Structure 1
Amino acid sequence: MTVTASVVVAVRNAQQHYAPALAALGEQTLGRDRFEAVFVDDGSTDDTAALLRGDTAFHTWNTVLATGQEGGSGGPGRARNLGLDHATGDYVLFVDAHDRLPRTALARLVDRAETTGADIVVPRTAGHGRRAPRLATAQPLDRGHLTTHPVLMDALGAHMLFRRSFLERAGLRFPEGPVPLADRHFALRAQLAAESVAAVHDHTCYHLHKNPNPGPAPDPDALAGSLADLFELLWGSLPTGPALDRCVAHLHRTELLDRLDQRAARLGAEQLAAWHAALLPVAQRYVAPSAEALLPAAHRVRSAVLRAGHPEALRRLARHRAGIAAAASLEWTRWSSDGRLELGLTADLVHKDRNGRRTPVRFVADRGRYRLDLPADLLALPGVAEAADATADLAAVRLAPLWRHREQGTEVPVPAETRLSTVPLGRNAAGLPLVAVRAEAGCATDPAAADHGRPLRGLWDLHARLEACGDEPRVRIGAERNALVDGMLRPAFLPDGSFAGPYWTANNQLSMRAGGHAPNGVKDALREPDWSWAGEENGMLRLRIPLELGPLAAPVAVTAVLTAEGVTGTVRADGAVVPAGAPDLAALEVAVPTRPLAAAPRWAIALLRHGKPAKPAELGAVLHRHGPGSWTVA
């Protein structure tokens, strides 16, 4: 049977964690007759294969295979290759057993491939406990290639949709066995061979979870050999020039320098020397000065120290730059008249020790230029002082706010304009000025269209990433804030009638409820209920309750839902939230029949958007009856 898409899932000792992946496949909106799932067991020593066969016994769209490596492993590459050989779909998507596909993932990925004719489609990916690639899907991409879109170097993983005829035509297979960076090899060969690459940028199509059964760390010689093969592939496929330099620089930064830095501070002297001896020849042979010049300052310094030939200097550098973090503060917030939540942020680049103590990352100012403040013994190494010049890097510093969905992990960047300033810190031993850097950014979120034109829905947490000199520390926003911000923060009805409710979490961080038919968080708008007005007229109780909200573009139709202890059912009345004479003031106006209110002396008030089925949102106001015709709101 030929189908549109084949999903290949390599499994090994996955009996405790394959169930969510299997369930997610069963919930796909792409028709069951249009896709198949091929699970391939790679020599599991537990009951994975037997359990999978039992769980899929009645699924005509599922197949369970085995690599034949009983008790051993051919690596995920062997299992994926066997799955690829068995696949019949026009497209193939490789999924790990501990990962998960959203319901619409296959349908969106296939539609993107068919619409663009691309050989590869990169899914927007949400990370859960591990980093997810973000650059390749940050913007729309229809017909890209590494040579024209270097951000695709950020998409060197197996979790993409591939046109099967393209894989067969190019003869692409995964390396088998314990090969470090095997996914990188497959993906890079595919990217270089593809005529075009597309991306799904506006919907999350893959949930990347931390591997519960990670394999052993590679030894330095194996990693160096694998890295050399990747560099050889780039040098053999691309002409000398800017495109090659960009790709080489990315690979050098992410796969060699970052991996080495992660180990330098904790390895013993002999182990560190072995890593240095294995990786230094790779850098010397494949990373040209023109590629190294494209690295940010922190990585240029790391590369220069590596080339200097002193393993212990790598440890010294790693410890000197340990604990890079961002100390961010929320300075102000307000709602614009067109329904955007505007925020002002500042962030400092700091070192953070194990006790949480923070000290600023220092820069040396010298004759109009700035360099990273490094120990004198490191600066004395060949090329390090030149590499530490961060003048151009500081001009490109960026404070990048983003909203992250609490459950789904989807991240939505918020456009921001960054301004950089320096803060004097005295002078160093040579008498040169020392400064810290501070980034300031103003940004605006339109909850009705923030996700590439689509509304935010659900619960979102605010983060920010400070991109400076190759460091990208990330920080949650809210716990540190200007004392006046609490008085500025308020919910809002948006121009389309939907509701957005920013609020402080139990840890004093800023989050936001958005979308839905109930104005969840509207109780945060009720600040002075004692100023409410209640009066009876012709059998109706008319209420006017003041609210502090973002500017209203027009009255918002709502339904008030009143409940009382010991009374079955609810009392409902239509009303509206209307402007009240100032941009941040509004009022709930509603008329409630008095007859059913006689059943109880106290009624709690909740709200719904008019005509929208949902659980009512508590207003936090209680209607009190003190006697005939006497009512108050508190």
Structure 2
Amino acid sequence: MPGPTVSVIIAAYNAMPYLTHCIASVADQTIGQDRLEVIVVDDGSTDGTAAELDRLAGLHPDLLRVFHQANSGGPSAPRNAGLDHAQGEFVFFLDADDHLGPEALERMVRMAEENETDVVLGKMVGVGGRGAPTSMFKRNQPRTDVFSSRVYWTLNPMKLFRRSLIERLQLRFPTDLAIGEDQLFVGAAYLNASGISVVADYDCLFWVRREDEGNITQRLKGSERRLRFLPRMVDLILDNVPPGPGRDHLAHRHLTVEMQHILNHLSYEPRESQEKTLDRLAEVVEPLWHDELDGQLSAMARLRLHLVRNRMLDEVLGLIEFERELSRTKKATPLLIDGGRAYARYPYLRDESSAVPDSCYDVTSQLGIRHQVTRAELTGTEVHLAGHAYLHRVETQDVGTELVLRERDSKTEYRLPVTHTATPGLGEAEDDGRFVYDLAGFEAVVDISTAAGGAPLGDGLWDISLAVGAQGVTREVRIGSKRTGDVSGEPTTRVVGSGQDLRAVTLYATKPHGNFTVDLGEKKHRVAPKLSLGKNVRWAADAPTELELTGRCTLAGFPAAELGITLSDGRGGTRAYPVHGTPDQDGRFTLRVPVTDLPAGVWTAELRLGPWRCALPSLSGLPAVKWRRLGLPWYAKPAPAKDGKAALQVARTDLVKALAKRLG
């Protein structure tokens, strides 16, 4: 018999009552128990966990294997013991307080098999107030790696691993670490994996915060334990990743997440211990940090690193308290605006005694932009836009916002003025109303016939942005993703101009982001599919010699005189007949062709709107029609298709042949 597909390894220590739900969530997996083995290692529990495991093993003898061992003090030893017994093609580590969504393993295994990846991350959901990582779960990622995604921002082991990867690397969890042991295991797996997948469209793992605060990361306090694993993670990166963007991407996590966690525990220690920890921390992170990396870090992270690098203990402790208060109140930090730059008013800004450089506080490139579109309408050659936009925490004084049109491929750019409008009361609902944005409104008109510096815009996809400016600070944002309910993002296509100058213009919101773009020249939105003719071609009831056709044009607008039927005789002769009347609300229209006006010949016909064409339906089955011209008999009847087009023969009746036919 083939072995199991997945070995679920659970390290259990005093996990009641969560354990029962945990095991049940595995037993109920849609992948099926015949493809699973569950290995639970009881790490010397004292709360009834051992007895519950034995009871559950009796209920699921073919699924559950239980091992009891003396307490090891952490999850590494029981996880390693589970790995020693695992037989599955894949391994999934599950903590005894957590549980799985019913389809979790089925979806993750499918993702690994279809994409031949070694590690699969399933979407995590926090329960009971426990925060779960989110940045890597924005969308499904069938195949990625540790450098071109955010997977490195979750280093817990609750993931699906191909067991051959684990055994090839001889990976085990280090038993000399109480915290951070999972980072060394997962980090090594990431760096050596043949592809990583992310399942983001299903809640796979429910990450539970225990009511008794019994999660190990909640129980263990102090910076010393956290500082023990960080040097080993730094060495892992230095040994496996060459200098450059890839190393910087991984370093970013440790210089922000781990740095903050360690410093948060620093304030609970004696002064002497604080000094030693700070000195050691500075040494550990030094190889990862260089000036070029600063641009990727937040101002707060830059400030922390500067204070640590310079062993400024008192300032570090002051910053810790500031951050705690910031986290408690959730209030945005005010800014200092100076010389076209924005600086967060974090502790020691322009404090002469501390001499921290302004660059540690510069948030100009990270300023949030709040915006909403209240009008986006295409009328003729003009795109009308209105709404509001402002820089968060920068009051709307000396506003200087511009509309930016940028062609997506060529990057050709035009900037157009906007009219600033009053927005009284805007901002009162956030930040306790501390910031005033009473001149954040904008109105703009983009005329495609003059927007290119007085000339028409060229064909292309013209993305619409705002360069939002106030007090000399400017930041750019694409607009449309935030809009009122009455502003549609559906494509609106018009044909504008006349004669040889007809152009197609479409205003639409991109998918999935929902930002507005103007399509000129049918780059994405074609005109031809919006033109159609009905199949029912007939002679008009009130005019038997007029060919009557119906059609539909779903364009939002077009020059009515340009839409009609054009007939050609193949010898240079043409006749044009415009739409009869005005199209109705659904774009339906009627066309009539008086065949009595046509000279003799075989005429093909098509619906035309400038350069756009729509073929005439088949005329087969249409009866012949007769009339007199200057006293002589004429007729029109369907003819064999010509060049793939329906054809109509118009001719004078040959009286001799007609008489002979009648007599014969």
Task: Please give the TM-score of this superposition, normalised by the length of structure 2.
Answer: 0.54
Separation of aligned partners in 1, 2:270 and 2:204 = 42
Query: In structure 2, do the counterparts of structure 1 residues 187 and 382 end up closer, same or farther at CA, with 3 Å as the change threshold?
Result: farther
Match of 2:364 among 391, 397, 408: 391
- Summarize the alignment of residues 507-546 of structure 1 with structure 2, pairs less than 5 Å apart: none
Contact 1:369 1:389 in 2 (8 A): yes
Match of 2:275 among 248, 270, 273: 273
Separation of aligned partners in 1, 2:308 and 2:97 = 36
Contact 1:122 1:198 in 2 (8 A): yes
Contact 1:122 1:160 in 2 (8 A): yes
Contact 1:123 1:199 in 2 (8 A): yes
Alignment-derived partner of residue 135 in structure 2:
135
Alignment-derived partner of residue 94 in structure 1:
93
Match of 2:308 among 300, 306, 309: 306
Query: In structure 2, do the counterparts of structure 1 residues 18 and 7 end up closer, same or farther at CA, with 3 Å as the change threshold?
Result: same
Q: What SS is found at the alignment partner of 1:324?
A: helix
Separation of aligned partners in 2, 1:167 and 1:278 = 32
Q: What SS is found at the alignment partner of 2:187?
A: helix
Alignment-derived partner of residue 113 in structure 1:
112
Q: CA deviation at 1:54?
A: 1.4
Q: CA deviation at 1:292?
A: 3.8
Contact 1:67 1:82 in 2 (8 A): no
Q: CA deviation at 1:46?
A: 3.2
Contact 2:54 2:66 in 1 (8 A): no
Alignment-derived partner of residue 242 in structure 2:
239
AA at the equivalent of 2:174:
P
Q: Which runs of 5+ in 2 are unaligned?
A: 373-387, 398-433, 442-483, 486-664
Separation of aligned partners in 1, 2:280 and 2:371 = 36
AA at the equivalent of 1:361:
T
Q: CA deviation at 1:232?
A: 0.9
Match of 1:352 among 314, 329, 351: 329
Separation of aligned partners in 2, 1:41 and 1:194 = 30
Q: CA deviation at 1:184?
A: 1.0
Aligned identity (percent) is 27
Alignment-derived partner of residue 374 in structure 1:
346
AA at the equivalent of 2:49:
T
Separation of aligned partners in 1, 2:339 and 2:58 = 74
Query: In structure 2, do the counterparts of structure 1 residues 22 and 375 end up closer, same or farther at CA, with 3 Å as the change threshold?
Result: closer
AA at the equivalent of 1:298:
M
Alignment-derived partner of residue 224 in structure 1:
227
Separation of aligned partners in 1, 2:7 and 2:99 = 15
Of residues 294-303 and 314-323 in structure 1, the stretch that sits farther from structure 2 once superposed is: 314-323
Separation of aligned partners in 1, 2:435 and 2:305 = 24
Query: In structure 2, do the counterparts of structure 1 residues 392 and 437 end up closer, same or farther at CA, with 3 Å as the change threshold?
Result: farther
Q: CA deviation at 1:82?
A: 1.0
Q: CA deviation at 1:165?
A: 1.2
Alignment-derived partner of residue 148 in structure 2:
148
Separation of aligned partners in 2, 1:236 and 1:437 = 51
Q: Which runs of 5+ in 1 are unaligned?
A: 326-350, 401-416, 427-434, 442-487, 490-634
Contact 2:390 2:396 in 1 (8 A): no
Alignment-derived partner of residue 24 in structure 1:
25
Separation of aligned partners in 2, 1:398 and 1:196 = 37
- Summarize the alignment of residues 456-535 of structure 1 with structure 2, pairs less than 5 Å apart: none
1:287-326 C-alpha deviation (Å, 9 max, x unpaired): 233334421111111111112212111121223344336x
Alignment-derived partner of residue 646 in structure 2:
none
Separation of aligned partners in 1, 2:289 and 2:24 = 45
- Summarize the alignment of residues 247-326 of structure 1 with structure 2, pairs less than 5 Å apart: 247-256=250-259, 258-263=260-265, 269-324=271-326
The answer to whether residue 334 in structure 2 is matched with residue 362 in structure 1 is yes
Query: In structure 2, do the counterparts of structure 1 residues 376 and 94 end up closer, same or farther at CA, with 3 Å as the change threshold?
Result: closer
Superposed CA RMSD in Å reads 3.2
Contact 1:6 1:92 in 2 (8 A): yes
Separation of aligned partners in 1, 2:18 and 2:347 = 47
Q: CA deviation at 1:23?
A: 1.5
Query: In structure 2, do the counterparts of structure 1 residues 169 and 264 end up closer, same or farther at CA, with 3 Å as the change threshold?
Result: closer
Alignment-derived partner of residue 404 in structure 2:
none
Contact 2:25 2:102 in 1 (8 A): yes
Query: In structure 2, do the counterparts of structure 1 residues 418 and 73 end up closer, same or farther at CA, with 3 Å as the change threshold?
Result: farther
AA at the equivalent of 1:364:
L
- Summarize the alignment of residues 49-68 of structure 1 with structure 2, pairs less than 5 Å apart: 49-66=50-67, 68=69
Q: CA deviation at 1:352?
A: 2.3
Of residues 303-312 and 110-119 in structure 1, the stretch that sits farther from structure 2 once superposed is: 303-312
Q: CA deviation at 1:235?
A: 1.2
Q: What SS is found at the alignment partner of 1:75?
A: coil
Q: CA deviation at 1:267?
A: 5.1
Separation of aligned partners in 1, 2:120 and 2:131 = 19
Query: In structure 2, do the counterparts of structure 1 residues 231 and 218 end up closer, same or farther at CA, with 3 Å as the change threshold?
Result: farther
Contact 1:35 1:61 in 2 (8 A): no
Alignment-derived partner of residue 10 in structure 2:
9
AA at the equivalent of 1:141:
Q
Separation of aligned partners in 2, 1:143 and 1:10 = 29
Q: What SS is found at the alignment partner of 2:343?
A: strand
Separation of aligned partners in 1, 2:436 and 2:254 = 28
Query: In structure 2, do the counterparts of structure 1 residues 315 and 437 end up closer, same or farther at CA, with 3 Å as the change threshold?
Result: farther
Match of 1:420 among 386, 391, 413: 391
Query: In structure 2, do the counterparts of structure 1 residues 9 and 292 end up closer, same or farther at CA, with 3 Å as the change threshold?
Result: same
Separation of aligned partners in 2, 1:108 and 1:424 = 48
Contact 2:112 2:120 in 1 (8 A): yes
Query: In structure 2, do the counterparts of structure 1 residues 322 and 67 end up closer, same or farther at CA, with 3 Å as the change threshold?
Result: same
Q: CA deviation at 1:36?
A: 1.2
- Summarize the alignment of residues 39-58 of structure 1 with structure 2, pairs less than 5 Å apart: 39-58=40-59
Query: In structure 2, do the counterparts of structure 1 residues 111 and 374 end up closer, same or farther at CA, with 3 Å as the change threshold?
Result: closer
Contact 1:246 1:291 in 2 (8 A): no
Contact 1:119 1:197 in 2 (8 A): yes
Separation of aligned partners in 2, 1:375 and 1:172 = 44
Q: What SS is found at the alignment partner of 2:112?
A: helix
Separation of aligned partners in 2, 1:75 and 1:266 = 23
Q: What SS is found at the alignment partner of 2:207?
A: strand
